[in-house]
């Protein structure tokens, strides 16, 4: 698809671009800005966009201050690890069982030499689709994990992206045997955009709480810029640290308490989801008498950035950090919004 871009405004030395109706601008990996055109073709912006343009330099300065505090964050992390806040021995053993190597002093994950021998042998094709855009992952961004408040729902861009994701699946002419939705509305609504087009698939849709996004505890729905400079939370995206997590849980507006988890714990949870998928596909295949089918069964999973990164790693699609041996999972290493991706093909 070819789109003609038009310059709209320049902030600092970074150029922002406008396209007719909708623009997705990628900043630091995966953040979007929406702009529209008036009846005369002149650009109009939302109040949030106006504030973003006006304060972009301030926000960039704030992020630079946080990044410059990396040494202090690392000192805090070392003290946190020594405090036995988490059971690093158990997590190291559990990741080794998955064919992964955990470097506790840095919180880094890497593929172990025996990954191929230990990886799951899936007898079905798997497509993963991250949810569409939300206000929560629009600058100034927040930690958006196991939360489902209004700002975490699909925004105008996200709703359009959900339809585009449905278009992409339609172009593939697939016939899913199972469609799994995260219970969080941003993911389920992205998936339902596709399901609503296909009455024949409605009985193949299941909502699995286990497939939801990472639980960030008290960091959830807090703006990154508002967290202390030396908070270990920043190591999650600055250093791809898979062990950091807060001690305090997230309390939802309805009073429900959700304990935090780190990325390693999410990996372990998503490994369980893959096992559950394998069992469920086996049941479906047996009931549908697919034994002699010409193609493998297909599961489509609608989820999130971190959950998707975990599944990518577990299926052998993990991305190494530039120039390093360890794996990246946040920032530029995450899946784009609302883009169906084959993570496994059985044949």
The model's pLDDT over 174-201, given as tens digits with 9 standing for 90+, comes to: 999 999 999 999 999 999 999 999 999 9
Output the domain CATH number for residue 326. 3.40.50.1240
User: Which distant-in-sequence residues (6+ apart) come within 8 Å of 99 by Cβ?
Assistant: 111, 112, 114, 115, 116, 117, 118, 119
Do 53 and 179 fall within a single domain? no
Taking residues 324-333, report their average pLDDT. 97
Q: E-assigned strands of the chain? A: 6-11, 14-18, 36-37, 43-44, 100-103, 108-111, 125-130, 178-181, 205-207, 250-251, 257-258, 298-303, 319-320, 327-328, 341-344
State the average pLDDT for the chain: 87
Would you say residue 46 has pLDDT above 80? Answer: no
Do 50 and 126 fall within a single domain? no
Would you say residue 49 has pLDDT above 60? Answer: no
Say whether 131 is catalytic.
Answer: yes
Output helix, strand, coil percentages for the chain, rounded to the nearest 5.
Answer: 40, 15, 45
Choose, from 74, 108, 131, 344, the residue flagged as catalytic.
131
Nearest-angstrom CA–CA distance, 146 and 336: 19
pLDDT score at 27: 30
Do 218 and 126 fall within a single domain? yes
Residues of each annotated binding site for substrate: 130-137, 186
Q: Sign of dihedral through CA atoms 150, 151, 156, 159?
A: negative
Nearest-angstrom CA–CA distance, 90 and 173: 44
Q: Is 104 part of a structural domain of the chain?
A: no
Q: Is 96 part of a structural domain of the chain?
A: no
Say whether 234 is catalytic.
Answer: no
Would you say residue 13 has pLDDT above 60? Answer: no
Which structural domain range is residue 207 located in?
Answer: 115-344
The pairing of beta strand 108-111 with beta strand 100-103: antiparallel
Number of structural domains in the chain: 2
What is the token pair recorded at 190? 């992205």
Would you say residue 37 has pLDDT above 60? Answer: no
How much is the pTM? 0.84
Characterize 234-248 residue by residue with b for buried, 16 or more Cβ atoms within 10 angstroms of its Cβ, and e for exposed.
bbbbbbbbbbbbbee
Instruction: Write down the residue that tokens 């158990």 correspond to.
Output: 90
Do 162 and 243 fall within a single domain? yes
Q: Is 127 part of a structural domain of the chain?
A: yes
Q: Is 12 part of a structural domain of the chain?
A: yes
Q: Is 187 part of a structural domain of the chain?
A: yes
Choose, from 74, 139, 189, 213, the residue flagged as catalytic.
213
Whether residue 202 contacts residue 216, with contact meaning beta carbons closer than 8 Å, is answered with no
Do 63 and 145 fall within a single domain? no
* pLDDT band of 44, cuts 50, 70, 90: very low
Whether residue 330 contacts residue 114, with contact meaning beta carbons closer than 8 Å, is answered with no
């Amino acid at each position: 698809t070819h789109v003609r871009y038009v310059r709209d405004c320049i902030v600092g030395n970074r150029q922002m671009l406008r396209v007719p109706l909708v623009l997705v601008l990628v900043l630091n990996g995966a953040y979007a800005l929406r702009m529209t055109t008036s009846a005369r073709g002149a650009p109009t912006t939302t109040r949030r966009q106006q504030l973003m343009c006006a304060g972009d330099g301030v926000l960039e300065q704030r992020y630079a201050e946080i990044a410059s505090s990396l040494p202090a964050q690392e000192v805090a992390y070392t003290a946190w690890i020594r405090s036995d806040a988490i059971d690093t021995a158990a997590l190291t053993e559990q990741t080794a069982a998955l064919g992964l190597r955990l470097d506790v002093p840095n919180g880094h994950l890497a593929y172990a030499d025996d990954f191929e021998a230990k990886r799951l042998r899936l007898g079905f094709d798997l497509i993963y689709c991250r949810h569409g855009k939300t206000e929560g992952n629009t600058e100034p961004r927040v930690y958006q994990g196991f939360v489902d408040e209004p700002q975490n729902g699909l925004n105008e861009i996200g709703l359009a992206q959900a339809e585009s994701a449905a278009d992409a699946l339609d172009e593939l002419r697939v016939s899913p045997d199972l469609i799994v939705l995260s219970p969080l509305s941003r993911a389920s609504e992205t998936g339902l955009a596709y399901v609503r087009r296909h009455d024949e698939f409605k009985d193949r849709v299941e909502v699995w709480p286990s497939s939801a996004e990472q639980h960030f505890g008290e960091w959830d729905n807090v703006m990154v810029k508002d967290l202390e400079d030396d908070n270990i939370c920043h190591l999650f995206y600055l250093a791809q640290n898979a062990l950091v997590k807060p001690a305090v849980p997230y309390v939802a507006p309805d009073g429900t308490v959700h304990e935090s988890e780190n990325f390693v714990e999410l990996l372990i949870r998503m490994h369980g989801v893959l096992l559950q998928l394998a069992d469920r596909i086996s049941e479906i295949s047996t009931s549908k008498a697919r034994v002699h089918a010409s193609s493998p069964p297909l599961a489509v999973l609608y989820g999130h950035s971190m959950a998707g990164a975990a599944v990518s790693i577990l299926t052998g699609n993990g991305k190494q950090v530039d120039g390093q041996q360890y794996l990246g999972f946040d920032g530029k290493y995450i899946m784009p919004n609302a883009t169906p991706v084959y993570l496994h093909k059985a044949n």
